[in-house]
């Protein structure tokens, strides 16, 4: 009977923790940079973080389901659950919405609130389409090479 590697039980948790540190710090630094360089405040920096995170999610989720790539389950946890899960944030998005409603009124709030969801969805779709297109190009190249070799 194969013996499990010592500490194997902690590997998923470790993968998520490592991804989470990188994800949250990226969000923090990007927010600080956007604030310093373009004086963008939380609603906009949160929007940029969430939309870019959805785009990356489209890419990574498609890659992780592709047969040719076969992302290791723990790598999937590190990138998807750890990094992207922590990089993007739902709670700050809702808190920003509530603050916008108080400070700027209903129109600004609704624009941000629905806009985040719509743009996030579009960004995810773009990430998926882009990745599927690239993967199909690689697949057709492989097919060409196989055809050449078999002839």
Partner 1 sequence: MANNLLLLIAVAAGSIFGALGRYYITLLAVEKMSRDFPFGTLVVNLSGAFLIGLCSVILKLIKADPALYSLVIPGFLASYTTFSTYTLDTFTLFKLSRYQQALLYGLGSPLLGFLAVELGLNLGQFLF
The residue ranges that bind partner 1 (CB under 8 A) are 12-13, 16-17, 19-21, 23-25, 27-28, 31, 50, 53-54, 56-58, 61, 77, 80-82, 84-95, 97-98, 113-114, 116-117, 120-121, 123-125, 128
Shortest Å, Cβ 21 to partner 1? 5
Shortest Å, Cβ 143 to partner 1? 26
Nearest residue (CB) to partner 1, 23 versus 43: 23
> How many CB atoms neighbour CB 59 within 10 A?
18
Closest CA to 12 of 85, 69, 87, 73: 73
Closest CA to 14 of 81, 65, 62: 81
Contacts of 105 by beta carbon, 8 Å cutoff, 6+ apart: none
Separation between Cα atoms, residue 43 and residue 45, nearest integer Å = 6
Shortest Å, Cβ 124 to partner 1? 5
Nearest residue (CB) to partner 1, 54 versus 63: 54
Nearest residue (CB) to partner 1, 115 versus 137: 115
Shortest Å, Cβ 130 to partner 1? 14
Helix (H, G, I), strand (E, B) or coil at 1: coil
Nearest residue (CB) to partner 1, 115 versus 141: 115
Please spell the DSSP secondary structure of 36-94, one letter per residue.
HHH---HHHHHHHHHHHHHHHHHHHHHHHH-TTT---HHHHIIIIIIIIHHHS-SHHHH
Nearest residue (CB) to partner 1, 1 versus 65: 65
Shortest Å, Cβ 110 to partner 1? 11
């Amino acid at each position: 009977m194969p013996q499990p590697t010592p500490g194997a039980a902690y590997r998923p948790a470790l993968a998520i923790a490592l991804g989470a540190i990188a994800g949250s710090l990226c969000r923090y630094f990007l927010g600080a940079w956007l604030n310093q360089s373009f004086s963008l405040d939380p609603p906009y920096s949160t929007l940029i973080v969430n939309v870019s995170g959805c785009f990356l999610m489209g890419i990574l989720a498609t890659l992780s389901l592709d047969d040719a790539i076969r992302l290791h389950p723990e790598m999937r946890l590190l990138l998807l659950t750890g990094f992207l899960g922590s990089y993007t944030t739902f709670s700050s998005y809702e808190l920003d919405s509530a603050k916008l409603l108080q400070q700027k009124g209903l129109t600004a709030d609704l624009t941000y609130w629905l806009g985040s969801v719509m743009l996030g969805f579009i960004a995810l779709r773009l990430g998926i389409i882009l990745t599927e297109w690239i993967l199909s190009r690689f697949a057709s190249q492989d097919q060409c090479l196989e055809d050449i070799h078999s002839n």
